[in-house]
Amino acid sequence: TASSSLTSAIFQSSEWKTLTSNSEEASGLYPLQRAFVEACTERLCKPLQYMFPENIALDDDGVPVNTGLSLLPSKYDVQRFDENIRQELSLADPKEGGGEFTAVTMIAECVVDMVSQFCDRARNALSGSGDDGYLKDEFTLTESLQHDRKVAAIMYTLQTYLRSGPEKTFIAPYRPSASPQHEEAAEMCLTALQPALDEIDDMVTEVILDPLCRAVNRRLADVMATMHLGVYMDNSAEGFGEDHAAFVQNKMSPMYETIAGNILSKFPPPYASIIASKISAFSIYAFVSNAALVRPLGESARLHITQDLADLELSLEQLVAKGGSSTHLSEISNGKPYAELRGVRQMLFWNGLDVKSKSSQEIAKALLRESWVRDLRPSTIIHYMFSVAPTLLSSPHHTKRVKAEEYAEKLVTLDGSVDHGEEDAWMVTMSCCDAYQQRATSAGAARDGDERIAQILLSLGPELLRRRRH
């Protein structure tokens, strides 16, 4: 008890507060810590001046001009950072650097600062081509993407050094007799380095992987748009036979194989996995949004779409596997795209409209009780209902006077975002229903399809959107 009281008195004393104060005017340890941090940061950042220099040459008049893409550091240049990082971290090891383990976090923060500056230089060294300058025919890489891919590989290498550094510094030299203190220091160091790892991931994803995925998704969307050229018309129609029943097999699957061979194989596994995941999520949402706008949908067309959904699932599962990740298609984006892919199959063969004596309110309530409804976007369900509606009830894209594929692009952006278009889709649907009610009251109007659809949609939409928000 006496010892505890003495310790408490020490920590509460003015001398201890002065010693540990972080004030710039303090006369304690802070000036010493600040000098150490500045020196450590300077040593770590010194090699940065040689990273990613501009590709400068002299013209005929002796004037320096930028001749193209920035020069990239060699693997030996990047390896130097690994050596420097471990050398600085070893200063916190009492046996190696004569320091103490409590300095691990302070040194790691210096490394994080260096990595931030490294990311800035790497960002400035990119080609800047963006979505439009990354791909040639058959998903082959342009010179700009080849350059940016090498930058991504450099960042991945640096990230690998950061992950392995704590273990190589504090544990590996002492195996098999590493102490618990060394293991704790390595764990503490890795935790302190996490902001640097996250910054590398964020930078590469934002300026390299996202533009690449948008470029790929744009080409996939163009092919998906061809389903509106009569692919799902009944087989009885002239010119549409068995080939159209395998739309995904014939058109989409070869593209995914090419993407895996020409793009995923060129990137480090973690980045290849990100690319595959983003492309897969977009593919599911875009295919479903386009298919929901197909009208009319007979029994044969529903079977064709169901088969294509199964083929799409298989192709994307293979794409994700080739990305080098242990993640399955069902786990991408918290499982939401996969759940919608499965839910659409059940929606296609929902028979709630078969009983003609049911009112629109009864049908809407019955539909909302279906288990698969929660897995689908409101726009998917609403647009599908148009497939059995009277001709007088115009499709949403007709009301907006755009092509079906252009309307689908508003629902699913090239980066795979889907939430922003749901409210707009519902507003367009209400306009369609209002126009239908005015047309239906005119004398001599043709009667076809299920005349309850407009009222069903008006009852269904608000509840679907409410559930989506919550």
Query: Are residues 231 and 169 part of one domain?
Result: no
Q: Is residue 16 part of a domain?
A: no
Q: Are 332 and 303 in contact (CB under 8 A)?
A: no
Q: Low-confidence residues of the chain, pLDDT below 70?
A: 1-30, 56-68, 96-99, 234-245, 443-447
CATH of the domain at 106: 1.10.357
Question: Which residue, chain included where needed, has tokens 């659409």?
Answer: 344
| DSSP β-bridge partners for residue 57 | 65
Q: Is residue 27 part of a domain?
A: no
Query: Are residues 245 and 391 part of one domain?
Result: yes
Q: Which domain holds residue 44?
A: 32-206
Q: Is residue 19 part of a domain?
A: no
Q: Which of 181, 206, 231 is the last residue of a domain?
A: 206
Which burial class, exposed, middle or buried, applies to 93 when counting CB atoms under 10 A from its CB (0-12, 13-18, 19+)? Answer: buried
Domains: count for the chain: 2
Residues 6+ apart with CB under 8 A from 273: 320, 323, 324, 325, 327
Residues 6+ apart with CB under 8 A from 172: none
pLDDT for 238 equals 41
Residues 6+ apart with CB under 8 A from 306: 345, 348, 349
324: left (phi over 0), alpha (psi -120 to 50) or beta: left
Q: Is residue 353 part of a domain?
A: yes
In whole angstroms, what is the distance from residue 7 CA to residue 13 CA?
A: 10
Q: Is residue 320 part of a domain?
A: yes
Query: Are residues 165 and 258 part of one domain?
Result: no
Query: Are residues 268 and 189 part of one domain?
Result: no
Query: Are residues 450 and 363 part of one domain?
Result: yes
Q: Which of 162, 179, 206 is the last residue of a domain?
A: 206
Query: Are residues 172 and 222 part of one domain?
Result: no
pLDDT for 18 equals 60
| DSSP β-bridge partners for residue 334 | none
In whole angstroms, what is the distance from residue 439 CA to residue 436 CA?
A: 5
pLDDT for 100 equals 76
Query: Are residues 247 and 107 part of one domain?
Result: no
Q: What is the 3-state secondary structure (H, E, C) of the chain?
A: CHHHHHHHHHHHCHHHHHHHCCCCCCCCCHHHHHHHHHHHHHHHHHHHHHCCCCCEEECCCCCEEECCCCCCCCHHHHHHHHHHHHHHHHHHCCCCCCCCHHHHHHHHHHHHHHHHHHHHHHHHCCCCCCHHHCECHHHCECHHHHHHHHHHHHHHHHHHHHHHHHHHHHCHHHCCCCCHHHHHHHHHHHHHHHHHHHHHHHHHHHHHHHHHHHHHHHHHHHHHHHHHHCCCCCCCCCCCCHHHHHHHHHHHHHHHHHHHHHCHHHCCHHHHHHHHHHHHHHHHHHHHHHHHCCCCCCHHHHHHHHHHHHHHHHHHHHHHHHCCCCCCHHHHHHHHHHHHHHHHHHHHCCCCCCCCCCCHHHHHHHHHCCHHHHHCCHHHHHHHHHHHCCCCCCCHHHHCCCCHHHHHHHHCCCCCCCHHHHHHHHHHHHHHHHHHHHHHCCCCCCCCCCCCHHHHHHHHHHHHHHHHHC
Structure token digits, residue 270: 């973690």
Query: Are residues 109 and 90 part of one domain?
Result: yes
Q: Is residue 8 part of a domain?
A: no
Query: Are residues 227 and 195 part of one domain?
Result: no
| DSSP β-bridge partners for residue 66 | 56
Query: Are residues 228 and 363 part of one domain?
Result: yes
Q: Is residue 18 part of a domain?
A: no
Query: Are residues 158 and 233 part of one domain?
Result: no
N-to-C CA span, the chain = 55
In whole angstroms, what is the distance from residue 240 CA to residue 231 CA?
A: 7
Query: Are residues 132 and 192 part of one domain?
Result: yes
- What predicted TM-score, i.e. pTM, was given to this entire model? 0.87
pLDDT for 58 equals 47
Q: Which of 150, 176, 206 is the last residue of a domain?
A: 206
pLDDT for 240 equals 43
Q: Is residue 79 part of a domain?
A: yes
pLDDT for 239 equals 40
